[in-house]
């Protein structure tokens, strides 16, 4: 996805070549359209483009990263075992997804962009801040607006759900604090591949999952521990994002796992963390006598391993995006399967 593929006619098929455009202007238009979409989503290799400040602000928030957190809310709602398809519940879910994705994930990504501006000047100089597309004071304002809006919505969701203890607000405060110490000095957790990777894993899985669960059910320590353990698989997801930044990380002394162990070993650590802990979750579902869900979860690991071998382990630097697109859908489907199992078991 990060490389452009030239459109050429197939010499073995006249029908294929007839259906493909050879007009250079049309090809250029299609390429520009794809580039603009990548810019707005905040994807790797997408330069800051256009003059609209709102598009640049959106790019800072990296909408592509909202998806796993929104999905985590869905899994949490499923694990509560109390979600029903009423209009009120749908609206509550939508508000919770707004909290997890655009507001708090947007806050986290903008904060990270602010503190990573020197590293991005080496790794991704086309990003909005190092490219000069947006002034730093405006970035700071955006960080504060997203943070305060997120905390305010979290408090509102607690009231809406009728929670006696402000569980969702507490999770929001904890999540935003972790986001801050992940990116900002002096702790800057991302300087250490293990701590930083797990902080991201928890952000992808534990925090949104517990939020969705607390919105429709009563969050207890068993569910919280379950998501914390599941987040170790999320650590493997987080490592994938470090391969594109090896050069800048080395220069600034960030000990990401590819820097600490080398690209090949880090790739193996990544896939092992994902597969082993997903299998461990399946084992726990068997312990709960949710054998059907456990079997589905184990079956989902098989194509995941296949794509890991096909793409990521062979060339993690070149195939990281392709691997994420092909293998990770099986991981996120597995999360929902696990959530449904927990809801069915009623733990």
- Domain containing residue 85: CATH number: 1.10.357.140
Residues 154 and 225 in one domain: no
Residues 188 and 313 in one domain: no
Residue 34 lies in a domain: no
Closest CA to 89 of 175, 205, 217, 209: 217
Q: How many domains does the chain have?
A: 2
Closest CA to 120 of 40, 200, 33, 190: 190
253-309 per-position pLDDT tens digit: 788 899 999 999 999 999 999 999 999 999 999 999 999 999 999 999 999 999 999
Total residues found in the chain within this entry: 347
Residues 215 and 75 in one domain: yes
The percent of residues above 70 in pLDDT, for the chain, comes to: 85
70-120 per-position pLDDT tens digit: 999 999 999 999 999 999 999 999 999 999 999 999 999 999 999 999 988
Q: What is the DSSP string of 244-284?
A: GGHHHHHHTT-B-HHHHH-HHHHHHHHHHHHHHHHHHHHHH
Q: Which two tokens stand for residue 229?
A: 């353990």
Residues 68 and 167 in one domain: yes
47-56 per-position pLDDT tens digit: 555 568 999 9
Say which residue the tokens 């250490």 belong to: 192
Within 8 A by CB and 6+ apart from 184, the residues are: 111, 115
Closest CA to 299 of 316, 329, 279: 279
**Confidence band (pLDDT; 50, 70, 90) for 23?**
low
Q: What is the pLDDT of residue 102?
A: 97
32-36, 57-61, 71-75, 307-311, range with the lowest pLDDT? 32-36
Residue 259 domain boundaries: 220-241+255-347
Q: Are 128 and 59 in contact (CB under 8 A)?
A: yes
Alpha helices by DSSP H, listed for 22-131, are 24-41, 53-60, 66-80, 87-98, 106-115, 117-123
Residues 205 and 96 in one domain: yes
Cis peptide before 186 (omega within 30 of 0): yes
Rounded to 10 deg, the angle between the 87-98 and 136-161 helix axes is: 150
């Amino acid at each position: 996805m990060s490389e452009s593929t030239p459109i050429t006619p197939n010499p073995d098929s006249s029908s294929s070549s007839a259906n493909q455009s050879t007009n250079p202007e049309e090809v250029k238009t299609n390429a520009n359209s794809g580039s603009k979409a990548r810019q707005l989503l905040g994807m790797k290799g997408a330069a800051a483009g256009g003059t609209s400040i709102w598009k640049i602000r959106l790019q800072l928030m990296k909408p592509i990263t909202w998806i796993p957190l929104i999905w985590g809310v869905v899994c949490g709602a499923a694990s509560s075992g109390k979600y029903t398809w009423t209009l009120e519940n749908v609206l509550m879910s939508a508000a919770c997804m707004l909290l997890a994705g655009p507001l708090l994930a947007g806050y986290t990504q903008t904060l990270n962009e602010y503190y990573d501006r020197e590293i991005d000047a080496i790794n991704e100089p086309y990003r909005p801040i190092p490219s000069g597309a947006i002034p730093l004071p405006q970035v700071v304002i955006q960080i504060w607006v997203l943070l305060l809006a997120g905390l305010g919505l979290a408090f509102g969701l607690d009231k809406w759900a009728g929670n006696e203890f402000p569980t969702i607000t507490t999770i929001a405060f904890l999540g935003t604090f972790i986001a801050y110490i992940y990116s900002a000095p002096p702790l800057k957790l991302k300087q250490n591949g293990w701590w930083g990777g797990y902080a991201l894993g928890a952000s992808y899985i534990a925090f949104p999952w517990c939020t969705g669960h607390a919105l429709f059910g009563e969050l207890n320590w068993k569910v919280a521990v379950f998501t914390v353990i599941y987040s170790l698989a999320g650590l493997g997801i987080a490592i994938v994002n470090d391969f594109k930044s090896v050069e800048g990380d080395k220069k600034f002394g960030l000990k990401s796992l590819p820097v600490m162990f080398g690209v090949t070993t880090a790739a193996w650590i990544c896939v092992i963390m994902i597969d082993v802990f997903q299998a461990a979750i399946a084992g726990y579902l068997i312990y709960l006598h949710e054998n059907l869900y456990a079997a589905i979860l184990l079956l989902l690991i098989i194509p995941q391993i296949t794509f890991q071998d096909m793409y990521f382990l062979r060339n993690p630097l070149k195939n990281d995006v392709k691997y994420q697109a092909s293998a990770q859908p099986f991981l996120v489907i597995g999360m929902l399967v696990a959530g449904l199992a927990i809801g069915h078991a009623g733990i």
